[in-house]
Amino acid sequence: ILTPKACVSPLPSAMHWIFSHTFSCIFLFSSQKTMKTEEKEHDGQLDFEEFVHYLQDHEKDLKLVFKSLDRKIAGQVNANDIVNSLRDLGVHISLQQAERVLQSMDKNGTMTIDCNEWKKYPTLQPAENIPEIILYWKHSTIFDVGENMMVPDEFTSEEHMTGMWWRHLVAGGGAGAVSRTCTAPLDRLKVLMQVHGSHGNNMCIMSGLTQMIKEGGMHSLWRGNGINIIKIAPETALKFMAYEQIKRLMGSSRETLGITERFLAGSLAGVIAQSAIYPMEVLKTRLALRKTGQYKGISDCAKQILKGEGVSAFYKGYIPNMLGIIPYAGIDLAVYETLKNTWLQRYGTESADPGVFVLLACGTVSSTCGQLASYPLALVRTRMQAQAAVEGASQVSMTGLFKQIMKTEGPTGLYRGLTPNFLKVIPAVSISYVVYEHIKTTLGVQSR
């Protein structure tokens, strides 16, 4: 039995894969639909006459796609036509990459292709789960490392209409809640080391965990985790809504933004979301640092802070927190795009599907680099949030804290608590991925 997947030919580069497979989705869909139409006897096989009809219809499909590329109706397609057409489909490539694609089809060296050259190009190739691959390459929200400051995911107009967007957000939020709960002891240890660590109190991982268990028992390892989970939903929703509105204000008609636009829109959306839920960040820090019996719960902690320190206490550390979003989002995106493109250039010739390991590795490394760059600001933010809760601590400004840490502890003082923070990254990302897949399946989320 002849099928569209009988036409197989390897392509020389990753960009050829992107180009051919983007249009292959169109070809395979139309071809399979045509074959089902031509197979009139419904016996699962094609006779010669049916197959001839299929080839004729398939050639019509190829001509239609060529016409969609040839916007100037010039009878030929150049590199700019390829760039513009792929951009409309949400795939962004450079002019140089488009020229390399053209070279594989151009037989006469004119750097343009006509309809005959287009029809001879081997675009039909077998590929598994192309929409799923695109989903993960877009840097989805499944990569939760407990900080939740990355650029929001993007959704197509179809996903907005079908309601798939909120299912993705719910699956990502649920995955984040589970992963944060599993890594909560390391997160609380990080906060303790950031606030109490010094030359005089050289707290390490084992001594910190022992100290927490000795003071409040095993369940004390999860102090502050409740508010850390509660804030996922409002922060994700606010960030997503702000991101969508900022995209509209930027005047972009495309469903997928370029890396610079994503950085700007994502950073602004992060600032808006963090501004709204920042009091919850302060509560998380205070609850993580609390001693046994100090607070009855989240509401009691909020009441005591409000009564003893006033409303302004809920925004201590706000400035370093906002400043930290910019390097985190920028480096996270830049490193991810670099790793993704490097992998595609080196290994995309053999397999389009990067596999789970590569996807998780790219997300983990990029998030880790982002955290590393913004960590000093995160440490100063945490110390400012905890100032009133630490006995004998003076109320110092952001710049004052930087100077104080550099003077008394040196540059390494700005990275206290970094070890447990990095130790939780791999398990957090791995758990997020597994839980995300299960919730996604339960909610009936379809591949993009």
pLDDT value, residue 248: 84
Which residue in 288, 239, 244, 279 sits closest to 389, CA to CA? Answer: 288
Whether residue 48 has pLDDT greater than 50: yes
Please, which pLDDT band fits residue 448 given cuts at 50, 70 and 90?
Answer: very low
pLDDT value, residue 33: 47
Rounded to the nearest 5 percent, the helix, strand and coil shares of the chain are 70, 0, 30
Dist. CA 412–CA 407, nearest whole Å: 11
> Any bridge partners for residue 77, and if so which?
113
Domain range annotation of the chain: 4-120, 134-442
Question: For 327-348, how does the pLDDT look when each residue is reduced to its tens digit (9 = 90+)?
Answer: 888 888 888 888 887 887 777 6
Whether residue 278 has pLDDT greater than 60: yes
Domain spanning 4-120: which superfamily? EF-hand (1.10.238.10)
DSSP per position, 232-286:
HHHHHHHHHHHHHHHHHHTT--SSS--HHHHHHHHHHHHHHHHHHHHHHHHHHHH
Residues recorded for the chain:
448
pLDDT value, residue 54: 58
Whether residue 279 has pLDDT greater than 90: yes
Dist. CA 237–CA 272, nearest whole Å: 11
Residues 398/319, Cβ–Cβ less than 8 Å: yes
Dist. CA 294–CA 194, nearest whole Å: 20
134-442: CATH number: 1.50.40.10
Statement: the pTM of the whole predicted model exceeds 0.85:
no
Question: For 72-107, how does the pLDDT look when each residue is reduced to its tens digit (9 = 90+)?
Answer: 677 777 878 777 777 776 666 777 777 777 776 766
Average pLDDT over residues 295-310: 93
Which residue in 129, 152, 126 sits closest to 139, CA to CA? Answer: 152
- Residue keyed to tokens 């890594």: 183
Question: For 374-430, how does the pLDDT look when each residue is reduced to its tens digit (9 = 90+)?
Answer: 999 999 999 999 987 776 667 788 999 999 999 988 999 999 999 999 899 889 888
Cβ neighbours of residue 180 closer than 8 Å, sequence gap 6 or more: 144, 146, 187, 225, 228, 229, 232, 428
Please, which pLDDT band fits residue 141 given cuts at 50, 70 and 90?
Answer: low
pLDDT value, residue 55: 57
Q: What is the DSSP letter of 348?
A: T
